[in-house]
Amino acid sequence: METNQQQEHVHLLIIGSGPAGYTAAIYAARANLKPVLYQGIQPGGQLTITTEVENYPGYPEGVQGPEMMVDFEKQATRMGADIRFGLATSVDFSSQPYKITIDENKVMTADAVIIATGASAKWLGLPSEQRLNGSGVSACAVCDGFFFRGKDVVIVGAGDTAAEEALYLSKMCNNVHMVVRRHEMRASMIMQDRVMKTSNIMVYWNSETLEVLGENKVEGVKLLNNKTQEETTIPVSAFFVAIGHQPNSDIFKDVLELDEQGYIKTVPGSSRTSLEGVFACGDVQDKIYRQAVTAAGSGCMAALDAERYLSAKEHNN
């Protein structure tokens, strides 16, 4: 290790913010674990690119995603959590205390670590998609479908999540236009069957999105049939992307047990990872629910698991 690196030891280090990280910080601070939390590249996580949140309990009028994350952060700070800017760039979990490098120059050592680095939605990479993100472009139908009741919408994707979200949207939207890049879906046969039997879902095979149309909000979408080269413009009010999520777990890939998609594996019913004293919560280990409220719940679990682990460790010493 280079001698010019700063080093600091903490009892509990939380990597990542968002509902999971901040909830873990609230519980850990109240348990007097003096947690230090590094916020990562996107303080507040995916909710900071979400506009209206209406399905989080306790906000009867709804709340803006970024505002909710500010509330979470303020609460964690008030409880005594030490919240800092900074990105974990590498980890050394080969011996205890665990070493975590922040911004490539500061080394933190910790008796226990909670990982709450989240996941990032995969996007198509269109400039119009990024420009209208939050103005009718969304990567979460369950979060935002409600705002487009009775409207026509587009969903892009061909897996189980896309099929599930298309069916979810079909219950509240007028028409759902499902764009599938190939001549078949990757979704399970039962999900495909449900989609094909739903009268207000129209599937566009061999199709890709050229552009999302609209100045300040989504007004339509331009598609290309990659077999016939024919272009189609569909007037819609929302554009949902359901081509998957990427867990932010790269720095842990040779260190912890991950599944084939890169999600951190945890012991069922707990936040424990394959290494003792390392816990994971939120979207970095949850590919099923991916909601703010479930992430917060798992952050609570991680703090309680970490508290039990540290208490047992002290008792044994």
- For the annotated catalytic residues, the residue numbers are 140, 143-144
Question: Could you please report the per-residue DSSP string of the chain?
Answer: --TTSEEEEEEEEEE--SHHHHHHHHHHHHTT---EEE--SSTTGGGGG--EE-SSTT-TT-EEHHHHHHHHHHHHHHTT-EEE---EEEEE-SSSSEEEEETTTEEEEEEEEEE---EEE-----HHHHHTBTTTEES-HHHHGGGGTTSEEEEE--SHHHHHHHHHHHTTSSEEEEE-SSSS--S-HHHHHHHHT-TTEEEETTEEEEEEE-SSS--EEEEEETTT--EEEE--SEEEE-S-EEES-GGGTTTS-B-TTSPBP--TTS-B-SSTTEEE-GGGT-SS---HHHHHHHHHHHHHHHHHHHHHHHHH-
Angle at 105 between CA 42 and CA 90, to 5 degrees: 60
Closest by Cα among 270, 306, 285 to 27: 306
Q: Is there a contact between 210 and 223 (Cβ–Cβ < 8 Å)? A: yes
Instruction: Tell me how far apart the alpha carbons of residues 308 and 303 are, in angstroms, rounded to a whole number.
Output: 9
| Contacting residues for 228 by C-beta, under 8 A, at least 6 apart | none
